[in-house]
Amino acid sequence: MFAQKRIIYIIIIIFLGLIKFELMAEPTLYFPCGTTIDWGIVKPKDHPLNTEIILQNTGTDTLIINNVQPTCGCTTAPLRKSILAPGEKTSMIITLSIINYTGDIEKVIRVYSNDPKASIVDLHLKANIRRDIFVSPSSFISFTDLKVGETGKQIVNIQNVSDRDVTIKIGSYSPSNLKFLIHDNQVLKKGESFPLEISITPSEAGILKGKIEILTSHPDYQEVPIFIFGDIKKSPLFIGN
């Protein structure tokens, strides 16, 4: 009789232990190499930046990664596997486009999972894009207060901080009614800048959106893009605009 009670007691203890284990079991999302990826100083020729990182479930229950969401269109981060058993690993291939950036940048990838203690984890991507030939104050130019039939002008500086003299010229551009004050194969000495005047006389109202390619003789910076945008309003002086 005593032996039977002892067996029943042991079974109860085991059963309660299993219940406790189930109640305590939880998934844990872990990044062995941390949540910051820093490429340091890079150049446009390194575009795009790529890396592969490891994700692991160090918990005691199944980890489900519900979503991986880059907060910028310049980033992709496909995940090889989204459901991980305890102890299992997978990887994420991260690609960061740097073609339109200069200087220090930081982008974020947001990872959503069923980890009860960290359901949202931010991965930080960092890089310092160094360009020896660049546009200042910005490669994004806004034409404000444009009106049909009136000429709008903007001036940007093409800067050369490389160790050599280069020549620059206008390559492809849009829209076709853009005009520039620059000579073909304009010489830009090292350490100097060239003030590029860009003008446009719109013929119809609407949204202005375009791109200019500055071509250079530098082997590492053969194309320097400039992006333009604006809002063209109607003018009472031009009928039918």
pLDDT greater at residue 6 or residue 230: 230
pLDDT of residue 24: 67
Q: Is residue 1 part of a domain?
A: no
Q: Which of 115, 108, 106, 9 is nearest to 60 (CA)?
A: 115
Q: For residue 88, is it within any domain? A: yes
Q: What pLDDT is recorded for position 99?
A: 83
**pTM of this structure:** 0.67
Q: Give a yes or no: residue 89 inside a domain.
A: yes
Looking at the structure, tell me whether residues 77 and 140 fall in a common domain: no
**Single-letter amino acid code for the residue at 132:** D
What's the pLDDT score for residue 138?
A: 87
Domain limit, last residue, from 75, 107, 129: 129
Q: pLDDT band for position 157 (50/70/90)?
A: very high
- pLDDT over 90 at 103, yes or no: no
> What CATH number should be reported for the domain holding residue 106?
2.60.40.10
Q: Are residues 117 and 61 in the same domain?
A: yes
Same domain, 185 and 151: yes
What is the model's pLDDT at position 82? Answer: 96
Span 134-156, pLDDT tens digits: 999 988 999 988 999 999 999 99
The tens digit of pLDDT for each residue in 61-101 reads 999 999 999 998 999 999 999 999 999 999 999 999 998 78
Q: DSSP states of the chain as a string?
A: -HHHHHHHHHHHHHHHHHHHHHHH----EE-TT-SEEEEEEE-GGGPSEEEEEEEEE-SSS-EEEEEEEESSTTEE--BS-SEE-TT-EEEEEEEE--TT--EEEEEEEEEEES-TT-SEEEEEEEEEE--SEEEES-SEEEEEEEETT--EEEEEEEEE-SSS-EEEEEEEEESTTEEEE--TTEEE-TT-EEEEEEEE--SS-EEEEEEEEEEES-TT-SEEEEEEEEEEEP-TTSTT-
Q: Across residues 16-32, what is the average pLDDT?
A: 72
Task: Kindly state the percentage of the chain with pLDDT values over 70.
Answer: 88
Task: Domain of residue 166: give its range.
Answer: 133-233
Q: Are residues 80 and 39 in the same domain?
A: yes
Indicate whether 171 and 125 sit together in one domain: no
Model pLDDT, residue 200 = 95
Burial (CB < 10 A; 0-12, 13-18, 19+), residue 92, is buried
124 & 208 share domain: no
| Per-residue model confidence (pLDDT) at position 220 | 85
Q: How confident is the model at residue 21 (pLDDT cuts 50, 70, 90)?
A: very low
CA angle, 12 then 17 then 19, to 5°: 95
Which of residues 65, 95, 129 is at a domain's end?
129
Regarding whether 125 and 40 lie in a shared domain, the answer is: yes
Determine the average pLDDT of the residues in 231-237: 82
Domain count, the chain: 2
Task: Work out the percent of the chain whose per-residue pLDDT is above 90.
Answer: 74
Rounded mean pLDDT of 108-117?
97
| Separation of alpha carbons 171 and 186, rounded Å | 13
- Does residue 11 fall inside a structural domain? no
Does one domain contain both 104 and 70?
yes
Residue among 204, 213, 212 nearest 231 (CA): 204
Average pLDDT over residues 27-52: 95
Question: Averaged over 21-30, what is the pLDDT?
Answer: 79
Residue 6, domain member (yes or no): no
Q: Are residues 36 and 79 in the same domain?
A: yes
- Please give the pLDDT value at position 113: 97
Range in 13-17, 24-28, 81-85, 171-175 the model is least confident about: 13-17
Q: Judge whether 17 lies within some domain.
A: no
HSE, CB side, 13 Å, CA atoms: give it for residue 108. 7
Assess whether 113 and 155 both reside in one domain.
no
Examine the fold and report which residue of 129, 154, 186 is the final residue of a domain before the chain moves on: 129
Is the pLDDT confidence value at 177 over 70? yes
